[in-house]
Structure 1
Amino acid sequence: MFSILGLILSLIIIMYLAYKGYSTIITAPIIAIITIILTTGFNGHLMANYTEVYMSGFANFIKNYFPLFMTGAIFAKLMEEANYAKSIAHFITQKLGKDKSILAVVLSGALLTYGGVSLFVVAFILYPIASMLFKEADIPKRLIPGTIALGAFTFTMTALPGSPEIQNVIPMKYFGTDTFAAPIIGIVASVMMLTLGMLWLTKRAKSAKVNGEGYGNHSDKSIETDYSNLPNIFSAILPIIIIFVTNLFFSKVYYENIDGSYLSEFGTTLSSVSGTWSVIIAIVLADVFIVLTNLKKIQNLKSVLDIGVTNSFRPLLNSSAIVGYGSVIKSLAVFGVIQSFIFGISSNPIISEALSVNLICGLTASASGGLGISLDALAPTYLHISQALNISPEILHRIASLSSGGLDTLPHNGAVITTLAICGLTHKESYKDIFVTSVVIPIFVTAIIVILTSLRFAG
């Protein structure tokens, strides 16, 4: 019991400090060590847990995602230097009207994530566009993270059939399904998340306008009001199209038709790395395209590249730190006890799966991590019970995917910290809207889907 209380206290502390703006690079390892002391006592293994458990998780995240963070940050900077982000922002504002700026950012994020671009990269791409749109429409900057979250962290990540995001891919190997599993449920959930999220953000923007808040006093270097000599919209969106098409080609065509058996020498499989490789190649090609077509406009390429790389470091290290913390939590004996308790809450596989995935994702602050842990433990049991109830494996796939996108985005989540860092905002300023759009609404929608599907198979 004391160990469980210690774990809960640890989670409260790290969320509180993240909300107050303290860097997780500093707080995460300290709180991880404190958690070990609270749950297992001072056993003399603290340094081993730090270097072998915490730092292993930390380093593994950098290994997997540094190329995405770096190339994504460079892409965002090049889009800014070439005035492409500004051109897109101006075009969308002119065509949709200032009152549609929030919808424009949400749909842009949805398009990118549905195209397979990592949500970490999407934040880099969307921020320059969002900042210009919101400035033009005089919408508070503090609403940008919540808007990005709605477009990138919700329905295209977990609900929309065919999404290549990892949260929709992981269940495939457990249930023998594909990314289009339970399409009707996925579409209904997507529409609900998008509609409720837009209602919330629109209401927040209208309230701010009534109060005369405006965009706010922020030193955003990318925001200007001179729209003369902007590149045409086709040139501006072409790099994004290159990312979308290239990623689609490599992930669905090229890597699907080559022999990846050689990867066994490296201790991995093609299916484990092809998705990441596809995105990296796509972004690099887009970066090269922008450079080659804007050599005269980009006066100091070395400086631009240096700034892009530097911009990727802080978000990357913040996210790595919280992943290291999650690694420590997962290594504790008490975590196994909590996991077993969660799995035993209900004999209904739909309800049990939804609860276990959501809560484990909350504990680990990772949608993909929590999803993998949950399905590793109970997917065979879910399949066995579901057969007796005539529940399709596709439904289990979609429920698992939907459930991973709820409690995962608590204040200490890596994507949340990354997005806030990219936007130059704090938890205090913007987390409320992230919480509503990517925690409250997805959990509400998932609960509705779980209730409806459970009623359908009741008895």
Structure 2
Amino acid sequence: MSFVGILVGLGVLIWLSYRGWSVLLLAPAAALIAAAFAGEPLLAHWTVTFMRAAAGFVAQYFPLFLLGAIFGKLMDDSGAVLSIARGMTHWLGPQRALLAIVLAGALLTYGGVSLFVAFFVLAPMGHALFHTANLPARLMPAAIALGTSTFTMSALPGSPSIQNAIPMPFFGTTAFAAPGLGVIASVVMVGFGLWWLSRSEARARRRSEGYASPTRALADAQDPLLRERGSTATHFDPMEMAHGARPTADTGNAEEAQPGTLGSLIPLMVVIGVNLVAGLWLLPRADLSYLETARFGGLRAGQVAGLWAVLLGLAAGLVALLLLHRGRLANLRGSVDAGANAAVLPVMSVASLVGFGAVVADMPAFSTVRDWVMNIEAGPLVSLALSTNLLAALTGSASGGLTIALETLGPAYMEIAQQIHLDPSLLHRLAVIGAGTLDSLPHNGAVVSLLAVCGCTHRESYRDIVMVSIVGALLALIIVLVLGTWFGSF
């Protein structure tokens, strides 16, 4: 009955979260269902097992959610996000509308801007661009997904995404773990995704299929259903999009108030550059031995150095942003407050999924599942990729599934890696890429939210999303698995 309870709890979690119920309520309810089927004490699992795991996630990752959300909000309110998107589309032109959307999304998210901020900027611009190019709007969600939710999230070395940060404390790695494999995976994802999109575009033109108005209204950032569905997908609460203030020009021309494209890119480059210097040079050479004292919990430097490097990168990016664009932030305090508030719901939602995973991991039946996963004959690399894939798919969240997998299985994988002299950087990169594949199933919050923001339906656009977000990522994962098995981490 214990295993049945886990399946029932997962089913309730998937079904009701897709219908817009809050994960803050669903996750503990699903955990209690699993515990009830196993005959376990309910209140103990809710107030102890569940809450300890959830609180641990918040304690470890809330600073990253906080700085990431504030940075994204200030980039948006300063006009920098819009300037980058417009600059990219102007440079490439409407004849390369798909490529322009992909590259604009990639630049924004690799530089630390939340994918939700990118969604709400790229979707309206994409409609205008697709209208000019006479391309069907149904292709736009896949183009945005390829640029914002694939290689910049899981593969590109140095990405400040929360998914790329989660393995660091478990494996003692940095955001630049296995850079060569990450670059190869990124090339595969981008190459396959662009090939598929160009193929879809050519097919649409052969059929004389042009631009048509969206079949449904574009979602508003204040939509409570979109808010709940997207809360586990990113580090930004869409409800805070309308708070703060965008730049205005005295002449009334909004474009004159926007910063230049190069000036807008500088904060993103600062985030990446400081992250690189801090993660690969500054922190490894710093004396962090004080962390091993009882005062700081006896931590190893590797457990925090990677996360600290990302935080330093985001903090430096914020400073650069304020130095360059302070005059364009009409209500600085309002924008900062909105960014800070935007971090709360996502971190608590993902933490709730982690709490659910902790309760499931404590059920008697889970030991059977764990033993089966750990003893897969193909080896620990395949086992790790499979476990992160499945958990991300079941939870509909790459960050939630990845954290659950590493909380329950991470120490065991690390022990195996030490025994067979396997570089933890390879485990890091495989785990993140694995979590970014089957997470894009129809119930995924980012998928549902992206379709709503673009005014498209699953029937119209999901097939293309599957190809660029799932098939391309799975192909990259297989290639990294093969190369990692043959050559190790590089």
Matched, 1:15 2:7: no
Deviation at 1:376, TM superposition (A): 3.1
Matched, 1:81 2:85: no
**Counterpart in the other structure of 2:401:** 366
Letter in 2 for 1:377: A
**Counterpart in the other structure of 1:441:** 472
Letter in 2 for 1:4: F
Change (3 A) 1:34 1:308: same
Change (3 A) 1:147 1:57: farther
Deviation at 1:149, TM superposition (A): 4.8
Deviation at 1:34, TM superposition (A): 1.0
Q: 2:281 aligns with which of 239, 253, 260?
A: 253
Deviation at 1:338, TM superposition (A): 0.7
Aligned counterparts of 1:155 and 1:294: Cα–Cα separation in 2: 29
Q: Give 3-state SS (helix, strand or coil) of 1:246's partner.
A: helix
Change (3 A) 1:277 1:173: closer
* More deviation, 162-171/281-290: 162-171
Change (3 A) 1:113 1:145: same
Change (3 A) 1:146 1:24: farther
**Counterpart in the other structure of 1:179:** 177
Letter in 2 for 1:366: G
Q: Give 3-state SS (helix, strand or coil) of 2:365's partner.
A: helix
Q: 2:63 aligns with which of 47, 64, 67?
A: 67
Change (3 A) 1:213 1:374: farther
**Counterpart in the other structure of 1:266:** 296
User: Is the Cα–Cα contact under 8 Å of residues 101 and 147 in structure 2 kept in the other structure?
Assistant: yes
Q: What does 1:234-383 align with in structure 2 at a 5 Å threshold?
A: 234-264=262-292, 265-267=295-297, 268-346=299-377, 351-352=382-383, 354-359=385-390, 362=393, 365-371=400-406, 373-374=408-409, 376-377=411-412
**Counterpart in the other structure of 1:98:** 94
Change (3 A) 1:227 1:72: same
**Counterpart in the other structure of 1:31:** 30
Deviation at 1:446, TM superposition (A): 3.2
Structure 1, gaps ≥5 residues long: none
Q: Give 3-state SS (helix, strand or coil) of 2:256's partner.
A: coil
Question: RMSD in angstroms over aligned alpha carbons?
Answer: 4.4
* More deviation, 425-434/102-111: 425-434
Deviation at 1:227, TM superposition (A): 2.7
Change (3 A) 1:327 1:424: farther
User: Is the Cα–Cα contact under 8 Å of residues 81 and 121 in structure 2 kept in the other structure?
Assistant: yes
Structure 2, gaps ≥5 residues long: 222-241
Aligned counterparts of 2:361 and 2:474: Cα–Cα separation in 1: 23
Q: Which deviations, in whole Å up to 9, do the C-alpha atoms of 1:34-83 show, x marking residues without a partner?
A: 11112x12x4x211111112122222222222222222222222222222
Change (3 A) 1:75 1:90: same
Q: How does the TM-score come out when normalised to structure 1? A: 0.76
Deviation at 1:259, TM superposition (A): 0.8
Q: Give 3-state SS (helix, strand or coil) of 1:227's partner.
A: helix
User: Is the Cα–Cα contact under 8 Å of residues 114 and 156 in structure 1 kept in the other structure?
Assistant: yes
User: Is the Cα–Cα contact under 8 Å of residues 161 and 186 in structure 1 kept in the other structure?
Assistant: yes
| Aligned length in residues | 438
Letter in 1 for 2:23: T
User: Is the Cα–Cα contact under 8 Å of residues 110 and 152 in structure 2 kept in the other structure?
Assistant: yes
User: Is the Cα–Cα contact under 8 Å of residues 437 and 474 in structure 2 kept in the other structure?
Assistant: yes
Deviation at 1:6, TM superposition (A): 2.2
User: Is the Cα–Cα contact under 8 Å of residues 87 and 232 in structure 1 kept in the other structure?
Assistant: yes
Q: What does 1:78-227 align with in structure 2 at a 5 Å threshold?
A: 78-107=74-103, 110=106, 117=112, 122-123=114-115, 126-131=118-123, 133-138=125-130, 147=143, 149-151=145-147, 153-156=149-152, 158-159=154-155, 165-166=164-165, 179-180=177-178, 183=180, 187-200=183-196, 210=210, 212-214=212-214, 216-219=217-220, 226-227=254-255
Deviation at 1:226, TM superposition (A): 4.7
Aligned counterparts of 2:457 and 2:214: Cα–Cα separation in 1: 18
Change (3 A) 1:298 1:382: closer
**Counterpart in the other structure of 1:55:** 51
Deviation at 1:260, TM superposition (A): 0.5
Aligned counterparts of 1:412 and 1:144: Cα–Cα separation in 2: 19
Change (3 A) 1:33 1:202: farther
Aligned counterparts of 1:106 and 1:150: Cα–Cα separation in 2: 6
Q: Which deviations, in whole Å up to 9, do the C-alpha atoms of 1:267-294 show, x marking residues without a partner?
A: 2222211222222232233323333444
